[in-house]
């Protein structure tokens, strides 16, 4: 196939639709929650915007066509994510968290499980939420740890024909639901055999909400993404049917790994969106601000070069992230590695670029009333940390790839 970076007519239409929604709806999100004092009220204030997103079919568009949705691939998701993240990070993250929450069902759910649990997310009404509950208090980066008390510590024991789940999770997007009673669907990563190695003793179990025994302990007061909700929660003697386990009992870590693979590329796109927003503001500022001189500051070499470097970085992240999404759509062998590079490079570049653009604007960039840059930096700081932290998870995954004897460093190069 020849190299072709053009969008199809359908993708151009999707891009325009997402851009119009972003300008019309998402541009109002920040003002709706900015003055609210706590994470719970800020999250609830975003619900009408999320409901509008559902009504206009963006949630249904996330779900792949084989499961009844309109999703046609990662590139289409990237188009929507880029358009949304240039205006708001909060409601789009709530939307895309559903992708991660439903991913175990896409990958390993039975037809009956898929029909029953995916169905509510295909409707263009309401505000359904799904979450993949993996991270635990104290950190779960070493989730394959076999040490006693390490790795996955949430336990699920079979009692007759029911799983009884006990444990705590945290940093799980939308896990509390809109009213603190739990998301509509939790895919909970549990240790189902404490004596087995993690590769054979961890499972993913479906917990529909509101779940008995669910308790939202506290909400995280995040520095950025302040209209999005993560919390620390517990499950105490929560019972679900035995058939709610996804895939083979004990082989849940393979499902977790596969669930987080495509989302890595999307973090690169999210990073691209906030960089675009920051660059647009800094460029306008440089073209209009004089700072006491006789010419606008863009004529100064230091400012012009800083803007040039920022735009170069943006284009690099765009190319890498979209290429990773395209490789995922093609199920190419190099897709996972490209997704990891997109996540690491995109997220860390966003933090660096926005910081440099704040230096271009100067002290006014620190004023949240007159500049979006400080807020954008706070939002960008999450990208290297979530969806598998770059240090705890993503670099380790790259390291593990390179440790393989058959690793081919040229596999990611363009080839016939």
Predicted local distance difference test score (pLDDT) of residue 272? 98
Q: Is residue 260 classed exposed, middle or buried when 0-12, 13-18 and 19+ CB atoms within 10 A define those classes? A: buried
Residue 4: inside a domain: no
Chain segment 332-390, per-residue pLDDT in tens: 999 999 999 999 999 999 999 999 999 999 998 988 888 999 999 999 999 999 988 89
Residue 135: inside a domain: yes
| 284: CATH | 1.20.140.10
- pLDDT: which is higher, 291 or 412: 412
| 245: CATH | 2.40.110.10
Predicted local distance difference test score (pLDDT) of residue 143? 67
- Per-residue tokens: 296: 């606008």
Q: Same structural domain for residues 230 and 209?
A: yes
Chain segment 15-59, per-residue pLDDT in tens: 999 999 999 999 999 999 989 999 999 999 999 999 999 999 999
pLDDT over threshold 50, residue 1? no
Residue 358: inside a domain: yes
Predicted local distance difference test score (pLDDT) of residue 340? 97
Q: Which residue among the candidates 88, 375, 379, 387 is catalytic per the annotation?
A: 387
Among 387, 340, 385, 377, which residue's Cα sits nearest to residue 173? 387
Range of the domain at 105: 9-122
Q: Is residue 409 classed exposed, middle or buried when 0-12, 13-18 and 19+ CB atoms within 10 A define those classes? A: exposed
pLDDT over threshold 70, residue 299? yes
Residue 347: inside a domain: yes
Q: How many CB atoms lie within 10 A of CB 256?
A: 21
pLDDT over threshold 90, residue 232? yes
Q: Same structural domain for residues 288 and 392?
A: yes
Number of domains comprising the chain: 3
Chain segment 145-156, per-residue pLDDT in tens: 665 566 788 999
Residue 348: inside a domain: yes
DSSP state of 8: P
Residue 1: inside a domain: no
**Which distant-in-sequence residues (6+ apart) come within 8 Å of 67 by Cβ?**
105, 106, 114, 118
- The pTM is what? 0.93
Q: Same structural domain for residues 282 and 334?
A: yes
Chain segment 74-111, per-residue pLDDT in tens: 999 999 999 999 999 999 999 999 999 999 999 999 99
Q: Same structural domain for residues 178 and 296?
A: no
Q: Same structural domain for residues 377 and 271?
A: yes
Q: What is the mean pLDDT of residues 216-224?
A: 92
Share of the chain above pLDDT 70, in %: 96
Q: In whole numbers, what is the pLDDT of the chain averaged over residues?
A: 92
pLDDT over threshold 50, residue 226? yes
| 107: CATH | 1.10.540.10
Give the three-state DSSP class for 103.
Answer: helix
Q: Same structural domain for residues 174 and 217?
A: yes
Residue 387: active-site member: yes
């Amino acid at each position: 196939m020849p190299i072709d970076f053009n969008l199809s007519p359908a993708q151009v239409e999707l891009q325009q639709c997402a851009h119009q929604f972003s300008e019309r709806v998402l541009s109002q999100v920040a003002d709706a929650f900015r003055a609210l004092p706590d994470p719970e009220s800020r999250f609830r204030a975003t619900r009408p915007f999320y409901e509008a997103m559902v009504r206009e079919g963006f949630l249904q568009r996330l779900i792949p066509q084989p499961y009844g949705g309109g999703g046609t691939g990662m590139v289409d998701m990237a188009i929507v994510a880029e358009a949304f993240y240039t205006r708001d990070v909060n409601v789009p993250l709530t939307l895309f968290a559903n992708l991660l929450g439903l991913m175990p069902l896409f990958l390993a759910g039975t037809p009956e499980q898929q029909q029953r649990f995916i169905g509510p997310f295909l409707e263009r009404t309401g505000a359904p939420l799904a979450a993949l509950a993996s991270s635990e208090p104290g950190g779960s980066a070493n989730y394959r740890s076999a040490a006693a008390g390490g790795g996955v510590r949430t336990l699920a024991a079979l009692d007759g024909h029911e799983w009884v789940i006990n444990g705590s999770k945290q940093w799980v997007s939308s896990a509390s639901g809109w009213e603190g009673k739990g998301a509509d669907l939790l895919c909970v990563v549990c240790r189902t055999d404490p004596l087995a190695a993690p590769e054979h003793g961890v499972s993913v179990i479906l917990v529909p909400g509101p779940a008995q025994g669910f308790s939202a302990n506290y909400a995280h007061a995040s520095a950025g993404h302040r209209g999005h909700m993560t919390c620390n929660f517990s499950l105490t003697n929560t019972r679900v049917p035995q058939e709610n386990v996804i895939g083979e009992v004990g082989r849940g870590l393979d499902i977790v790994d596969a669930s987080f693979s495509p989302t890595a590329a999307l973090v690169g796109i999210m990073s691209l969106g906030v960089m675009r927003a920051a660059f647009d503001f800094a460029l306008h500022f440089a073209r209009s601000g004089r700072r006491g001189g006789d010419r606008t500051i863009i004529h100064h070499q230091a400012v012009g070069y800083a803007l040039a470097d920022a735009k170069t970085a943006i284009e690099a992240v765009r190319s890498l992230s979209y290429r990773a999404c395209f490789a995922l759509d093609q199920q190419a062998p190099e897709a996972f590695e490209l997704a990891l590079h997109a996540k690491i490079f995109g997220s860390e570049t966003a933090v660096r670029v926005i910081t440099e653009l704040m230096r271009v604007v100067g002290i006014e960039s620190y004023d949240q009333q007159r500049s979006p840059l400080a807020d954008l930096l706070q939002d960008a700081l999450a990208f290297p940390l979530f969806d598998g932290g770059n240090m705890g998870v993503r670099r380790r995954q790259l390291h593990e790839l390179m440790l393989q004897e058959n690793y081919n460093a040229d596999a990611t190069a363009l080839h016939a």
